Amino acid sequence: MTVEVWTYILVGITFAAYLYIGYLNRVRDTGGFYVAGRGVPAIFNGAAVGADWMSAASFISMAGLISFMGYDGTVYLMGWTGGYVLLALLLAPYLRKYGKYTIPDFVGDRYYSTTARIVAAIAAIFVSLTYVAGQMRGVGIVFSRFLNVNITVGVIIGMAIVSFFAVLGGMKGITWTQVAQYTVLIVAYLIPAVAIAWVLTGNPIPQLSFTFSDIVDRLNQIQTDLGFTEYTMPFSAKPMIDVFCITMALMAGTAGLPHILVRFYTVPSVRSARYSAAWALLFIALLYTTAPALAAFARYNLIDSLNGKTIEEVHQLKWVQSWETTGLLGFEDKNGDGKLELSPDPAKSEMKIDRDIIVLSTPEVARLAPWVVGLVAAGGLAAALSTAAGLLLVISSSIAHDIYARLINPEASEARRLLVGRVMIFLAVVVAGIFGIYPPGFVAQVVAFAFGFAAASFFPVILLGIFDSRTNRAGAIWGMVVGLGFTAFYIIGNKYFGMPTFLWGISAEGIGTVGMVLNLVVTFVVSRLTAPPPLEIRKMVEEVRVPRGAGAAVEH
Amino acid sequence: MEGEKRPNGLHGYWRANKTLIAVLLVIWALVSHVFAIFLARPLYGVHVGHLPMSFWWAQQGSMIVFVILIFVYAIVMDRLDEKYDVHEDRPPRGKRPGGGAK
């Protein structure tokens, strides 16, 4: 059977499974719709967090990105995993004890302020919407590359699938499909990685062959021979301070992203919130420790199989043929000697390559069976759809719960709230789909900034809300204004108005770290200069710190 | 755990929790920010397997330690919850011989 037939079969089977699971988990009340009835066991919530977290970008682009950045690719590896330590130790258990539906709920209650609730809801919508646009685009791209379907059609198919299980099942439907999607995506990621590790080093476990075989030595050797710096050399892409700041901003941003935080409302107890964070990171690390190995293997294989060959020889490679037609891979014999030469100097290098190829072409490069290629397509779709679903729920709950049910119509009946939730999630799917079909140019940049904004707003506000009972409304509001204001000023100034990165050369991607520190300092100082929060708020903080009674919080 | 009064118990519980968090976060910062970033150059000459040690921390070791840290936190907190009698899963009946609550 051909690659295309296999792809149709595997994508078809997985999609049918998601629809079936979504149908089984349809819900009838808002508790089920927003927090899956708080009945998700820790290990499954961990898998759902993993799927929620690992997006089309993690699955398709990250290994390629690392492959081109070398050592400095660690900003993504450590940044997007280290945040879970902050989340698990500093936020998740207490949010579960507090036990309502959304993050704006917590911010609004803890700071006894409707303004804070609205600001938090808008920030949650903004972060999630920019993020989800990229996911829908990812669905379209996978469809177009593997199945020769028009991107628009691909996006519409994705929208139909997501809206089915999200509208029917809300958080419950999303959670259980995410568990299935995690399984699909991790299997699809590991099989090609294991195969290429086996082919190149004779050791099938990517993490071990990366560390203990001489593959990276050989890669460093070829790189130096060609005039590149060593693959493992630190700070060849970015200076040290920037690597630190970007890593830190991604860590704090990860811990402050609403679609991840709300997942911890869905478990039955504080204890299971702690364990599900641990499972989540274990599941995520399975992919994240494989990615750098894959990055190095693919880079070695690419240079080794192409450099110095004649252009004709290169064109006889089957995977080169198939990727050249997509326009993502191209060769040009610039010096006219008939041979392919790679060079760190873009003016001399005779190959043009899109970094997404690193993951997408691995099965073909490693000469794996056609069904593996189909599996990778199914995995990429699982990654994109699961992340999209989690984000869509946050958008829907911010509007339907935080704004509609809490502010506009507090008298609304349960049935009406549920209906508004369903309608909102459907509208969110449509908006995300439109962004996916007509991607606004700023989306790629904005996704990176979502982390900076989350680091400079949600993370400090929730952290101090739990650990410092003296933090009050004035402190939190000023902290957010200063933190967000500074971060936005620096990013917008630098990206759109050519402002130099005047703060020790920290890039726009890393400035969230400074914004976070500013927020923490301002919140702390202003809180101490103004009246302490009311007694019931301090009681609430005391309550949140102790696990006992979390079951009761279900009844809110 | 016999003689502890409730308010004191809660105070002690929170302090023990904060100490544990501080210890784990020091390790967290050490394996990521310190070993993989600030000491990237000095540790480059040392090796783990075939990889420079700082590179190994940056692309493998730190993530493995992160996972361990969260499991350790969850497990130690189980014990603290029991010790200070603030755990969930069973009705708050005061004293009952310690051991597997489930």
How close is the nearest chain A Cα to the Cα of B87, in Å? 5
Instruction: Give the C-alpha separation, B49 to A269, whole Å.
Output: 42
Give the Å distances, CA to CA, from B67 to A283, A483, B62. 9, 30, 9
How close is the nearest chain A Cα to the Cα of B21, in Å? 6
CA A9 to chain centre: 27
Q: For the ranges A207-211, A226-230, A462-466, B76-80, which has the lowest average pLDDT?
A: A226-230
Across A121-135, A439-453, A501-515, B20-34, the highest mean pLDDT is recorded for B20-34
Q: Which two tokens stand for residue A404?
A: 């509609």
| Length of chain A measured in residues | 556
CB A479 within 8 A of CB A107: no
Identify the pLDDT of residue A337.
78
pLDDT tens-digit readout, A136-146: 877 887 777 77
Residues 236-265 in A contacting B (C-alpha not used; CB under 8 Å): 240, 243-244, 247-248
Across A25-39, A235-249, B68-82, the highest mean pLDDT is recorded for B68-82
Identify the pLDDT of residue A445.
62
B10 in contact with A, Cβ within 8 Å: yes
Out of B58, B74, B78, closest to residue A71 by CB: B58
3-state secondary structure A286-297: HHHHHHHHHHHH
Task: For residue B101, give the 3-state DSSP assignment.
Answer: coil
How close is the nearest chain B Cα to the Cα of A309, in Å? 28
Q: Is the pLDDT of residue A553 over 70?
A: no
Which residues make beta-bridge pairs with A310?
A339
| pLDDT: which is higher, B21 or B98 | B21
Q: Give contacts of A67 with chain B, Cβ < 8 Å.
A: none
Q: What angle do CA A14, A152, A66 make, to 5 degrees?
A: 70
Phi-psi region of A213 (alpha: psi -120 to 50; beta: other; left: phi over 0): beta
Instruction: Give the C-alpha separation, A155 to A431, whole Å.
Output: 12
B26 in contact with A, Cβ within 8 Å: no
Instruction: Give the C-alpha separation, B90 to B94, whole Å.
Output: 10
Give the Å distances, CA to CA, from A76 to A70, A137, A450, B99. 11, 21, 14, 41
Average pLDDT over residues A413-435: 85
Q: E-strand spans in A189-305?
A: none
pLDDT tens-digit readout, A81-130: 999 999 999 999 998 888 877 888 888 889 988 888 888 888 888 888 87
Identify the pLDDT of residue B57.
93
Out of B40, B60, B69, closest to residue A85 by CB: B69
Q: What is the DSSP letter of B48?
A: E
CB A84 within 8 A of CB A284: yes
Instruction: Give the C-alpha separation, A25 to A174, whole Å.
Output: 9
| Domain ranges for chain B | 6-83
Whether ipTM exceeds 0.90: no
* Average pLDDT of chain B, as a whole number: 80
B21 in contact with A, Cβ within 8 Å: yes
Q: Which two tokens stand for residue A506?
A: 């920290």
B67 in contact with A, Cβ within 8 Å: yes
Tell me what percent of the residues of chain A surpass a pLDDT of 70: 97
Give the Å distances, CA to CA, from A133 to A148, A375, A396, A430, A440. 21, 24, 15, 11, 9
A275 in contact with B, Cβ within 8 Å: yes
Task: State whether B51 and A247 contact (CB < 8 Å).
Answer: no
Average pLDDT over residues A435-442: 73
Instruction: Give the C-alpha separation, A142 to A191, whole Å.
Output: 18
Q: What is the DSSP letter of A329?
A: E
Per-residue buried b or exposed e for A254-263, using 16+ beta carbons within 10 Å of the residue's own CB: bbbbbbbbbb
Q: Is the pLDDT of residue A216 over 80?
A: yes
Average pLDDT over residues A367-391: 85
Across A23-32, A122-131, A518-527, the highest mean pLDDT is recorded for A518-527
Identify the pLDDT of residue B8.
58
Q: Is the pLDDT of residue A183 over 60?
A: yes
Identify the pLDDT of residue B71.
96
Residues 456-475 in A contacting B (C-alpha not used; CB under 8 Å): 467
Identify the pLDDT of residue A446.
65
A170 in contact with B, Cβ within 8 Å: no
Identify the pLDDT of residue A160.
87
Task: State whether A551 and B51 contact (CB < 8 Å).
Answer: no
pLDDT tens-digit readout, A316-327: 877 787 777 767
Q: Is the pLDDT of residue B94 over 60?
A: no
How close is the nearest chain B Cα to the Cα of A50, in Å? 13
Instruction: Give the C-alpha separation, A18 to A177, whole Å.
Output: 5
Q: Is the pLDDT of residue B3 over 60?
A: no
* Average pLDDT of chain A, as a whole number: 84
Task: State whether A248 and B63 contact (CB < 8 Å).
Answer: no
CB A292 within 8 A of CB A73: yes
Task: State whether B38 and A244 contact (CB < 8 Å).
Answer: yes
Task: State whether A271 and B81 contact (CB < 8 Å).
Answer: yes
Out of B17, B63, B88, closest to residue A285 by CB: B63
Q: Give contacts of B32 with chain A, Cβ < 8 Å.
A: 78, 82, 247
Q: Which two tokens stand for residue A157?
A: 């198919």
Identify the pLDDT of residue A283.
95
A108 in contact with B, Cβ within 8 Å: no
Q: Give contacts of B50 with chain A, Cβ < 8 Å.
A: 211-217
How close is the nearest chain A Cα to the Cα of B15, in Å? 11
CB A155 within 8 A of CB A137: yes
Q: Is the pLDDT of residue A552 over 70?
A: no
Task: State whether B87 and A93 contact (CB < 8 Å).
Answer: no
Residues 181-220 in A contacting B (C-alpha not used; CB under 8 Å): 207, 210-217
CB A116 within 8 A of CB A135: no
Within chain A, which residue ranges are assigned CATH 1.20.1730.10? 3-302+366-553
Q: Is the pLDDT of residue A556 over 50?
A: no
Task: State whether B13 and A546 contact (CB < 8 Å).
Answer: yes
CATH superfamily to which A3-302+366-553 belongs: Sodium/glucose cotransporter (1.20.1730.10)
Instruction: Give the C-alpha separation, A101 to A266, whole Å.
Output: 9
Stretch (H or E) spanning B51: strand B51-52
- Here the contacts of A200-208 (C-beta below 8 Å, separation 24 or greater) are A200/A297, A200/A300, A200/A301, A201/A297, A206/A289, A206/A290, A206/A293, A206/A294, A206/A297, A207/A289, A207/A290, A207/A293, A207/B60
Average pLDDT over residues B52-64: 93
Q: Is the pLDDT of residue A202 over 90?
A: no
Identify the pLDDT of residue B100.
33
Q: Is the pLDDT of residue A385 over 90?
A: no
Instruction: Give the C-alpha separation, A424 to A428, whole Å.
Output: 6
Helix residue ranges, H only, A438-534 = 443-456, 458-467, 473-496, 512-529
Average pLDDT over residues A364-382: 82
Identify the pLDDT of residue A466.
92
Task: State whether B37 and A212 contact (CB < 8 Å).
Answer: no
Burial of A317: CB neighbours in 10 Å, binned 0-12, 13-18, 19+: middle
Q: Is the pLDDT of residue A148 over 80?
A: no
Out of B14, B21, B49, closest to residue A89 by CB: B21
Average pLDDT over residues A386-409: 83
CB atoms within 10 A of CB A175: 30
How close is the nearest chain A Cα to the Cα of B66, in Å? 6
Q: Is the pLDDT of residue B5 over 60?
A: no
Q: What angle do CA A42, A264, B25 make, to 5 degrees?
A: 90
CB atoms within 10 A of CB A314: 19
Task: State whether B88 and A71 contact (CB < 8 Å).
Answer: no
A66 in contact with B, Cβ within 8 Å: yes
How close is the nearest chain A Cα to the Cα of B34, in Å? 10
Q: Is the pLDDT of residue B43 over 70?
A: yes
Instruction: Give the C-alpha separation, A334 to A201, whole Å.
Output: 33
Nearest to A394 by CA among A88, A155, A170: A170
Give the Å distances, CA to CA, from A277 to A392, A465, B16, B78, B82. 21, 20, 20, 14, 20
pLDDT classification of A440: cutoffs 50, 70, 90: low
How close is the nearest chain A Cα to the Cα of B44, in Å? 8
